[in-house]
Chains A and B, each alone.
Chain A
């Protein structure tokens, strides 16, 4: 049996398939076709993502038209409030009453803006 196994192994080794250019060309075409379809798929995915992004931007623009001004006002007031808080320490040294009032007004406006934003968000 072992001798036959050796004979069998040799028989397998002695029967190579001759090269066929037609086969190589067929594989080449199949691979090219595959790559083409992958390219189309990626392009379609790109268009799909772009369309989805455009739809999201369009939707956000609609929301911004309604709440945009309030949001910007709220943001501006928050910045002002932060600025006020940061300069509060140095305000002690202010000799001008007007400058002090400005700080107070900034803080008050910030609080009012925050309240408006909070109320808008709750609604």
Chain B
């Protein structure tokens, strides 16, 4: 994998070896890491953004931030969670720049019936991406982190800084809306 002079065979190197090399400021190793992780990172941000171009811009921003902070990563095994946090923070900062409101929900008011909307009534096939795009930014983010990334409510609280009750509400309401939309499709 690594020669006596310390050069990595990028194609066969493990992700941990790539991360260690990138921490030593090896740009080639980091590029290989980006190649391997870009699909996951872009998918995560596309689901949270519901806008492919914006998601790719944010993914690029997240990878550049990761490059800058890579020395803070203590163990290579922690890279996915560490990068996910950077991606979510990048997304939240972008939304704050856009003045998006991540509302705090205190009530348990009934969810509006999505099947009553003209779009739902049209009976068009609604896939996951399209259904996600109908959720609010906060619901989409919480549902993606919960169902897509397998994070618990408390882990989402830790990453996003939202109150636990708000996260639970967003996940519950978002999931319920998705269920209605997908079942109606």
Contact = CB atoms under 8 A, between A and B. Distances in A.
Counting chain A residues whose Cβ lies within 8 A of the other chain, the interface size class is 20 to 34
A26 B179 CA distance: 37
Contact of A35 (B27, B60, B63): B27
Contact of A11 (B39, B40, B59, B128): B128
Contact of B40 (A8, A17, A20, A35): A17
Contacts of A18: 39
Nearest to B128: A11
Interface string A5-22: 100110111011111110
Nearest to A18: B39
Nearest to B45: A17
Point out which of A1, A15, A17, A35 has the most chain B C-beta atoms below 10 A from its C-beta: A17
B147 interface: yes
Contacts of B59: 23
B67 interface: yes
A20 B30 contact: no
B55 to A, nearest CB: 9
A13 B39 CA distance: 12
A28 B46 contact: no
Contacts of B144: 12
Contacts of A24: 31, 34-35, 38
A8 B143 CA distance: 10
A57 interface: no
Interface string B32-49: 001100111011001100
Main secondary structure of the interface of A (DSSP, over half): helix
A28 B43 contact: no
B100 interface: no
Given A19-B38, A28-B34, A5 B43 contact: no
Given A23-B59, A31-B67, A8 B35 contact: no
Nearest to A8: B147
A21 to B, nearest CB: 8
Given A8-B147, A17-B42, A18-B39, A28 B128 contact: no
14 contacts: A1-B179, A4-B175, A9-B148, A12-B128, A17-B38, A20-B38, A23-B34, A24-B34, A27-B31, A27-B63, A27-B64, A28-B31, A31-B31, A31-B67
Interface of B: 25, 27, 30-31, 34-35, 38-40, 42-43, 46-47, 56, 59-60, 63-64, 67-68, 128-129, 143-144, 147-148, 150, 175, 178-179
